[in-house]
Chains A and B, each alone.
Chain A
Amino acid sequence: MTTVRAEGARQGFDWQRALKRHGWTVGAWLLLIALIAFYATLIPRFGAFQIASIAKNSMPLVFVSIAQAIIVIAGGIDLGVGALLIFSNAMAAQMMDGQSLGMSLVIAALVIVACAALNGVVGWIITVSRVPDIVVTLATLFIISGLALIILPSPGGGTSDGFRAIFTGSTTGTGTNFWPSLAVMAIPMGLAAYFMRGTRVGLSLYATGSNPMAAYLSAVNTARAKILSYAIGGGFAALAGLAALAITGSGESRFATGSNFTLRSVAAIVLGGVALTGGIGSVVGAAAAGIVLFTLSPLLSAMGVDPNTAQVIQGVLIVLVMMIAGMIHLRRERAG
């Protein structure tokens, strides 16, 4: 044990190990940069407007992906994150309509806390009932979507101009000021990344997802870790709903929107290097993959591909990436 440590120390920074551990995360970001660079060459003028558009419109998917990543890393899977998105969207749109910026922020905080608590209860149900995550959250996908529809039966509601500006950089939701969107996206992502990798509690989520029995025997409170992962995921899903509200300026609670976001979040985290078996991957990689998935649609439309063909291409691309990843994994397995 000591010799291994000494060797590691002598070498200084172990590039190989770092690449093995963070390779996929780095790859996801490189893919994103490559895609955006390619996109920039396709359109006549690539500028602040395009950056602002991508940064702002990818926000909901990024937040939902972070939510899903945290839950999956801790060994669960949440089919209800999309429902939480429309739930928070509906709740906020209903309450923020005609309010001031200050009041909107208070409501936003309340919505986030409420969704975190609600999803914490979902996590608690999973630990107590011992029903598989995927079954419980399939049920909550229906229940929470239904609640959202009760709160906001038809599209409507609203928010304050200031609140829209915080997320989108302009009071109308369209503009060239991309800094607010980037900041609103980067700060929660950074906090989540620090929490997952840099704190004891965050590492206990990794431990629980990686091997619950070993974690339990090492005195990790695995039940608490699971509930916590769901609660934090719920908070991020709520943030996604708030971002969607800020972008469109009004709320909508369609079941299809929710289930669609759930499915895309699962695709995003897998693309971002999070293993569905738990314990592997990073929030940062999932976030990059979320932006990648969003960027594909403006990119393909800039290439002159019609939206339907674009959807086919997106599906094929996801499968191809997963196939390549599967092959790499298989090779490693066979190599030893």
Chain B
Amino acid sequence: MTTDLTTSVTPDEPLSRPTWAIWLADHPLAVLSGVLVVLVVVTGIIEPRYLSVSGLRNTVLLAAPLGIMAGAQTILMLTGGIDLSVGMIATAAAYVAANQSPNGAAIAIVVGLLVGLAAGAVNGVGVGVFRVNALIMTLAMSAILIGLFTALSFTVLQGSTTVAQFIKTLGGGSFFGNRIPYNALVWAGVSVIIIYGLRRTGLGRLLYAVGDNPVAVRLAGVRIWQVHIAAYAIAGLLAALAGILLAGRTGAVDLQLAVSFLLPSVAAAVIGGTSIFGGIGTYSGTILGALILGVLATMMTFLDAGQAIQQVVYGGIVLALAWLYARVTGSS
């Protein structure tokens, strides 16, 4: 029996893999960057005009809100959670920001962000304190927000369909000779904070730890419920920010504003290599994932592909990349 085990499990198995596979496993971001470059080049072949400053600017403009929303998803997936309410939190925040726009852009943005923070914190209390499954908790939150804001859109929020000019500029405008979108600037700022926060701060390390081994973390004296509440509140905040930027880009707010971003936000994090089981992943990967999805969306527009084809290609890419990941990293 013992001999069987030793012969069947060869200790030097990883060495038998080709060198390139090991290199790729150590540098997952290289794979993603490669995919991104290939997609950009292919899009350029389809539509030569795309390979210009304004073409790439459009992709970043598309990807920024998605990237921020995917940041929320990344943080939660690191803890082993997920947020199916990001789409509705974003929409809700945009609605409230539109409602507060007459009072000035600053107040509109702050109040909008507070809505996200509050909704996220409630999610966190449900998941962290009452141990409701994250899927169910955030799903229910989404249903609650849909009902609430549909009702409010007929009463208090009636007529709140456009946001302040500053938010429009922030979400859809560009500077530096119309080359760099403002929302990319916001995204860059958020990225720096998330990446630094995840790597260097105590909370950031705790997010990884909670996702990796909650029992060990609890035995080490951490109050896990506080970590959960913090994580979901931050996620709500990021979703709200994405929603406000999105409202600025489209110029108008309606109940469908950000709902279609929910599944892509999960997809971007997954493409970026964040494990849905927690403990593994980086925000850098998610950024590349959001950019890949952005290029893909642009490519589909150029190809004049219908919504149906888009969905099939979209799903295919997610599946293919996830499969490639599992293969290359050999995680089983």
Contact = CB atoms under 8 A, between A and B. Distances in A.
A323 B126 contact: yes
A223 interface: no
Given A136-B322, A306-B151, A315 B311 contact: no
A135 B136 contact: no
Contact of B140 (A138, A145, A149, A316): A316
A123 to B, nearest CB: 14
A319 interface: yes
A267 B313 CA distance: 29
Contacts of A323: 126, 130, 132
A267 B322 contact: no
B314 A142 contact: yes
Given A146-B308, A146-B311, A150-B308, A326 B130 contact: yes
Nearest to B264: A142
Given A150-B308, A263-B84, A270-B133, A142 B144 contact: no
Contacts of B277: 132
Interface residues of A, number: 48
A200 interface: no
Contacts of A130: 326, 331-332
Contacts of B130: 322-323, 326-327
> Per DSSP, are chain A's interface residues mostly helix, strand or loop, or mixed?
helix
B132 A319 contact: yes
Contacts of A255: 307, 311
Contact of B136 (A141, A270, A306, A310): A270
Contacts of A129: 322-323, 326-327
A318 interface: yes
Contacts of A146: 307-315
A141 to B, nearest CB: 7
Given A132-B277, A153-B308, A315 B140 contact: yes
Interface in B118-170: 126, 130-133, 135-137, 139-144, 146-148, 150-151
A94 to B, nearest CB: 14
Nearest to A329: B131
A141 B266 CA distance: 13
B326 A319 contact: no
Interface residues on B, range: 35 or more
Contacts of A139: 267, 315-316, 318-319, 322
Contact of A315 (B147, B307, B332): B147
B270 interface: yes
Contacts of A134: 276
A309 B270 CA distance: 34
B146 A311 contact: yes
B256 to A, nearest CB: 9
Given A139-B318, A145-B311, A131 B323 contact: yes
Interface in A51-78: none
B1 to A, nearest CB: 13
B21 interface: no
A213 interface: no
A299 interface: no
B140 A135 contact: no
A318 B316 contact: no
A136 B316 CA distance: 10
B42 interface: no
A3 interface: no
Given A141-B315, A142-B314, A142-B315, A149 B307 contact: yes
A147 interface: yes
Contacts of B84: 263
B263 interface: yes
Interface in A199-221: none
A140 interface: yes
A131 B322 contact: yes
A115 B148 CA distance: 36
Interface string A256-269: 10010001001100
Contacts of B314: 142, 146
A312 B147 contact: yes
A50 interface: no
Interface string B26-47: 0000000000000000000000
Given A135-B318, A266-B139, A313-B147, 9 more contacts: A125-B319, A138-B267, A140-B315, A263-B139, A307-B147, A311-B143, A311-B150, A319-B137, A322-B130
Which are the 7 A-B pairs with shortest beta-carbon distances?
A311-B147, A142-B315, A146-B311, A143-B315, A149-B308, A146-B312, A315-B144
Interface of B: 84, 126, 130-133, 135-137, 139-144, 146-148, 150-151, 259, 263, 266-267, 270, 275-277, 306-316, 318-319, 322-323, 325-327, 331-332
